[in-house]
Chains A and B, each alone.
Chain A
Amino acid sequence: MASTSSSLPSASAAPAVARLAAGAPEAETNGIANANADAEAYERANVHSVYEAIAPHFSATRYKPWPAVAQFLNTLPRGSVGLDVGCGNGKYLGVNPGVFMVGSDRSAALVALARDRLKEEGGVLPTGTGVKNAVRDETSDVTNTTATSGSRSSKEGITDVLVADGLSLPFRDGAADFAICIAVIHHMSTRARRQDAIRQLLKCVTAGEAGKAAGKVMVMVWALEQGSSRRGWDEGGEQDLLVPWVLKTPQQKQPRQPKQSRKQKKGAAAQHGQEGSDAVVVAHHANKSGEPPVPGPVPGPAQDQDQQEPAAPATDAGGGVSHTDPVFQRYYHLYRKGELEEDVLAAGGLVLESGYEKDNWWTVATNNGPTLSEEQ
């Protein structure tokens, strides 16, 4: 397992985003508008296009909801209408069968995957209907296995998906009872844009006016403080990074035991299907990949090991990463403790609850009604 001792280091994105935040000199004439366009172009190259390219592989590693998010969803009143902004492959849609959720994502490829998945899945069913499904399976009821016919109590009935940008959402103000935005805002390259993203979420949910329950927004982001993870990021470290994703294609799987390899990968590498597990499929040198793209590796432990715990059998089983596996770099802003709450406040929100869950910070906030600050 020589490959596991090597790694694909994350690289600093700090110089690039500092320029974006300040507004490139040439953009000064048009000020913020141009700086924002630059930031958008940066995210297009370092986030959006990457997700389009890695969508199927990424999706295959994302299927188990974070407990804190599932908990939030499962405590919502029945009949709530909610949004999942940056829904990816839609793993949170349908978690609570008593609510109607619309998922949106910037990546059309991921949205299409989400749609197909929701069509196929039996869905999370209330007690009592599970038996029915089991019977259907046993009798191989054809109508229930095709995608276009047969009465299904699948997630299809309680979800929908669309393509949209988190900063230009198509939802009418106050339309939703809740919104979640999981592992999305950390992909935005300036603080102003991250705060604006939260502001847009807050606008979508009902304001806390008299007689109306204020809508809730849950945001989760990658934490800088990942002391227990082997990525090596921690307090005081670099916050703006390019994090590699090695695209594993089926043909490149270990030919000896392709099934086993896949199983192991599911079992551990992607066990939680969590945003933090990205780097698990990464286990080789950036310069081997022929893509040494960025200003340079992050100093410190990040160079040693780019895997998450538990140790990833995917890497072991795969015997390392093929030289031909394409490597994509995604921009991340790692949130330090307290920063997410600061951003919620800056966006005019009221923080109700906050927490940390395995390398991530999360917060639940409300639209604070009239004080919701207007964007500039």
Chain B
Amino acid sequence: MKVLTLNFLTCAVKTCKSSADSFPLHPKDAELAHDDIEINPELLANVLPRIDWTALRTTSTELGFPELPAQPPTVEELEADEALLKELHSLLLETQMMEGKLVCGCCGHEYAVREGIANFLLPSHLV
């Protein structure tokens, strides 16, 4: 599970979706791995506007990474700043949550992450 993916995820419980507390999900007991993936500046620049920056800052801090700037870089800034590109590439695409849980801040449900795959199947009483 990539950090970028986490930025698009919320709780699978329908009644949680309208609550601001359900996004982003909070990593718990997270074991991280770092994959070495070829950098793709164009993809990063294109995906940047899709990212919820505030949520990404939260996730990044919760995973123990240095705090991100309060405002997202513009696409131009990103393209001109190789160090920033590398940093975001490393955080968003190369960092993998391998084990642990993702916790909904609304209902408290914990979704397991095992071997890098998050499982969002709900117990029947939550469907």
Chain A residues close to B by CB (< 8 Å): 37, 40, 77-81, 98, 100, 102, 104, 106, 108, 111-112, 115, 148-154, 156-158, 160-165, 167-173, 175-177
Known contacts A78-B46, A81-B47, A102-B5; decide if A157 and B37 are in contact (CB<8 Å).
Answer: yes
Contact check, A40 vs B35: say whether CB atoms are below 8 A apart: no
A171 and chain B: residue at smallest CB distance: B8
Question: Among B45, B49, B93, B120, which residue has its beta carbon within 8 angstroms of that of A168?
Answer: B120
Q: How many residues on the B side are at the interface (Cβ–Cβ under 8 A)?
A: 37
Q: Of all chain A residues, which has the CB nearest B124?
A: A37
Closest chain B residue, CB of each to CB of A33: B127
Check if B118 sits within 8 Å of A157, measured CB to CB.
Answer: no
Neighbouring A residues of B45 by C-beta, 8 Å: 79
B9-17, B56-64, B65-73, B76-84: which lies at the interface: B9-17
B119/A79 in contact, CB under 8 A: no
Which of A78, A112, A149, A172 contacts B8, CB < 8 Å? A172
7 extra interchain contacts, Cβ-Cβ under 8 A, other than A37-B124, A176-B8? A152-B38, A162-B118, A163-B117, A163-B120, A165-B12, A165-B121, A170-B118
A160 to B3, alpha carbons, bound, how many Å?
A: 10
Please give the residue numbers on chain B whose beta carbons come within 8 Å of chain A beta carbons, in ascending order: 1-2, 4-5, 8-14, 17, 23, 35-38, 40, 42-43, 45-47, 49-50, 93, 111, 115-122, 124, 127
Would B36 and A150 count as touching, CB distance under 8 A? yes
Judge whether A170 and B36 touch: CB under 8 Å.
Answer: no
Considering the complex, give the chain B residue whose CB is closest to the CB of A41: B124
Partner of A112, one of B46, B111, B115, B122: B115
With contact pairs A81-B47, A160-B4 given, residues A106 and B35 touching in the complex (Cβ less than 8 Å)? no
Q: Which residues of A contact B50 (CB under 8 A)?
A: 79, 81, 175, 177
Q: State A40–B126 Cα separation when bound (angstroms).
A: 13
Complex contacts, A163 vs chain B, CB 8 Å: 117-121
Partner of A170, one of B9, B49, B124: B9
Contacts of A79 in B (CB 8 A): 42-43, 45-47, 49-50
| List of A residues within 8 angstroms of B9 by Cβ | 162, 170-172
Taking a contact as CB atoms under 8 Å apart, the answer to whether A162 and B36 are in contact is: no
20 A–B contacts, CB within 8 A, in A order: A40-B124, A78-B42, A79-B43, A79-B47, A98-B46, A102-B5, A104-B120, A115-B117, A152-B37, A160-B4, A163-B121, A164-B119, A168-B12, A169-B120, A170-B9, A171-B9, A171-B10, A172-B9, A175-B50, A177-B50
A172 with B37: in contact, given A79-B43, A100-B47, A158-B43 (CB under 8 Å)? no
Question: CA–CA, A158 to B37, complex, Å?
Answer: 10
User: A79-B43, A151-B36 given as contacts; is B121 within 8 A of A172 (CB)?
Assistant: no
Contact A153 to B122, CB < 8 A, known contacts A162-B5, A171-B9:
no
For the complex, give the distance between the alpha carbons of A361 and B47 in Å. Answer: 31
Collect the chain A residues with CB atoms within 8 Å of residue B122's CB: 165, 168
CB of B100, distance to nearest CB on chain A (Å): 14
User: Quick check: B12 and A169 within 8 Å, CB to CB?
Assistant: yes
Min C-beta distance of A148 to chain B, whole Å: 8
Residues on the A chain within 8 Å of B119, using CB: 108, 162-164
Query: In this complex, what residue of A is CB-closest to B33?
Result: A148
Question: Which residues from chain B contact A176 at a C-beta distance below 8 Å?
Answer: 8
Contacts of B115 in A (CB 8 A): 112
Is B117's CB under 8 angstroms from A170's CB? no
User: Which residues from chain B contact A172 at a C-beta distance below 8 Å?
Assistant: 8-10, 17, 23
**A284 CA to B118 CA in the complex, in Å?**
39
B38 to A153, Cβ gap below 8 A? Answer: yes
Task: Check A164/B37 contact, CB under 8 A, given A78-B46, A102-B5.
Answer: no
Instruction: Report the minimum CB–CB distance from A274 to chain B (whole Å).
Output: 26
Contacting residue for B120 out of A112, A151, A153, A162, CB 8 A: A162
Q: Are A165 and B120 in contact (CB under 8 A)?
A: yes
Smallest CB gap from A154: residue in B: B37
* Residues of B contacting A77 in the complex (Cβ-Cβ under 8 angstroms): 46
User: CA separation between A6 and B123, bound complex, in Å?
Assistant: 42
| A173 contact from B1, B17, B37, B117, Cβ within 8 A | B17
With contacts A111-B117, A162-B117, A162-B118 known, is A157 near B5, CB below 8 A?
A: no
In the bound assembly, the distance between CA atoms of A80 and B8 in angstroms comes to 13
CA distance A149 to B94 in the complex (A): 11
Cβ contact within 8 Å between A152 and B117: no
